Amino acid sequence: MHKNVIVFFGYICNIKFVPNKWFNFTKIKEKEYFEKKHKYLIPVIAVVLATVVLILYNYYQQMNDLEKLQWTNTQISTWGRDLMEGDVIQNNQNKIKVAILDSGINDEHPDLVGKVKGKYNAFNGSDQTKDDLNHGTAVAGIITANDNNNGVIGVNQNIQLYDVKILGKNGHGNLEHLSKGIQWAIKQEVDLINLSFGFQSDSSELKQIINEAVSSGIIVVAAAGNTFNLGMDYPAQYNNVVSVNAIDSNKDLINAAALGKTDFVAPGEDILSTDSAGGYSLFSGTSFASAYITGGLSYWMGEFKDSPGYEPGDYRGLLNYVQNNDGLVTFSDRNKQQYIKIK
């Protein structure tokens, strides 16, 4: 049997076998021998290989994105980014300044190297913004992880990040830190602010802080909150803030989603992104859905800035531009849920 296998591989590789002390072959014409004795072997092998490939493909499709990354050991496009349908576009648009007000960003992560252009710690006024909550780094990765053949790919490559630490290691923040963070972001003249957190109750102080950012020409994107079908967090409830709820891979709202004003939905369950330890982890919640919409809006803003009549902070103008360029996808006739796709 082993001799037949060797003859077969010799035939398909066009190798002439020579008798030696290990193999006592008689002189034959390999092609004729193979066709006569093994005419069904190639079809059988083809069917077996096709079956194996199909099994492996189905196995791969059932994996979550972290398992896919570990299995392939190369850069993958996550299900969340695939939903946005866009190709990776780099260095051919205006650089958009995005402030992430969160727990800090590990800017030494291989997928975030070179992305962070400014850092501010609202707790002590320094530029030390260690992410000890493992939250802000994930948000940053969703928005703009490097296209470098490793890990994951962010929504938009043409971004400059401004890292503002306003959340401590317990995940808590207050209005004072938020106010300081927004004031700093205004001075940096950022285009977008991502708030992947919120407050359960409204306050005049919070509204004033947000109004100040918006009046400065900044578009504010905020997570709806993980309230499990209770009321939406603030400032996501404000009319001048872009509110984002989370969906799963079936485009259903996740169990933790909030009720209330929803401008967009975006992927927010089993989201693979960069983590503060320098690796990759799965994350779930409206915090990460917010990051997808921030990335999507930043992509379209890069084009919108070159259009006639552009003004900083013109969210309605930006939204009309996105819609006119087929960038809005509505997939629920019942509640008109929509997300943003990129080219």
Q: pLDDT digits over 208-255, tens only? A: 999 999 999 999 999 999 999 999 999 999 999 999 999 999 999 999
CATH of the domain at 144: 3.40.50.200
Do residues 259 and 308 both lie within one domain?
yes
Whole-Å CA distances, 30 to 39, 107, 240 = 13, 61, 78
- Mapping DSSP onto H, E and C, the string for the chain reads CHHHHHHHHHHHCCCCCCCCCCCCCCCCCHHHHHHHHCCCHHHHHHHHHHHHHHHHHHHHHCCCHHHHHHHHCCCCCCHHHHHCCCCCCCCCCCCEEEEEEECCCCCCCCCCCCCEEEEEECCCCCCCCCCCCCCHHHHHHHHHCCCCCCCCCCCCCCEEEEEEECCCCCCCCCHHHHHHHHHHHHHCCCCEEEECCCECCCCHHHHHHHHHHHHCCCEEEEECCCCCCCECCECCCCCCCEEEEEECCCCCECCCCCECCCCEEEECCCEEEECCCCCEEEECCHHHHHHHHHHHHHHHHHHHCCCCCCCCCCHHHHHHHHHHCCCEEECCCCCCCEEECCC
Do residues 25 and 95 both lie within one domain?
no
Do residues 47 and 193 both lie within one domain?
no
Identify whether 67 is part of a domain: no
Do residues 38 and 98 both lie within one domain?
no
pLDDT of residue 185: 98
Examine the residue annotation and report whether 102 is marked as an active-site residue of this protein: yes
Instruction: Give which of 16, 19, 13, 42 is closest to 29, Cα–Cα.
Output: 16
Q: When comparing pLDDT for 315 and 335, which is higher?
A: 315
Rounded mean pLDDT, 261-282? 97
Identify whether 70 is part of a domain: no
Do residues 43 and 171 both lie within one domain?
no
Q: Is the pLDDT of residue 334 over 80?
A: no
The whole-model pTM stands at 0.84
Q: 102, 107, 163, 275: which one is catalytic?
A: 102
pLDDT of residue 38: 61
Do residues 263 and 313 both lie within one domain?
yes
95, with CB counted inside 10 A (0-12, 13-18, 19+), is middle
Identify whether 46 is part of a domain: yes
Q: pLDDT digits over 41-79, tens only? A: 777 777 778 887 777 667 666 789 999 999 988 999 999
Mean pLDDT, rounded, of the chain = 87
Q: pLDDT digits over 112-161, tens only? A: 999 999 999 999 999 999 999 999 999 999 999 999 999 999 999 999 99
Do residues 52 and 180 both lie within one domain?
no
Q: pLDDT digits over 19-45, tens only? A: 444 444 455 556 666 666 566 677 777
CA dist 104 and 116 (Å) reads 11
333, with CB counted inside 10 A (0-12, 13-18, 19+), is exposed
Do residues 183 and 323 both lie within one domain?
yes
Do residues 49 and 159 both lie within one domain?
no
Examine the residue annotation and report whether 135 is marked as an active-site residue of this protein: yes
Domain boundary among 32, 62, 92: 62
Q: Is the pLDDT of residue 200 over 80?
A: yes
Identify whether 68 is part of a domain: no
CA dist 261 and 144 (Å) reads 27
Do residues 48 and 183 both lie within one domain?
no
Rounded mean pLDDT, 300-313? 90
Task: Print the domain residue range for 121.
Answer: 75-340
Q: Is the pLDDT of residue 173 over 70?
A: yes
Do residues 48 and 124 both lie within one domain?
no
Q: 135, 163, 243, 273: which one is catalytic?
A: 135
Q: 284, 287, 290, 298: which one is catalytic?
A: 287
Do residues 253 and 221 both lie within one domain?
yes
236 HSE (CA, 13 A, CB side): 32
Examine the residue annotation and report whether 203 is marked as an active-site residue of this protein: no
When divided into structural domains, the chain yields a total of 2
For residues 207 and 181, the answer to whether their CB atoms sit within 8 Å is no
Identify whether 88 is part of a domain: yes
Question: Phi-psi region for residue 71, left (φ > 0), alpha (ψ -120 to 50) or beta?
Answer: alpha
Rounded mean pLDDT, 304-313? 89
Say which range, 37-46, 259-268, 295-304, has the weakest mean pLDDT: 37-46
Q: Is the pLDDT of residue 323 over 70?
A: yes
pLDDT of residue 198: 96
Identify whether 317 is part of a domain: yes
Q: Which of 2-6, 137-141, 314-318 is predicted most confidently?
A: 137-141
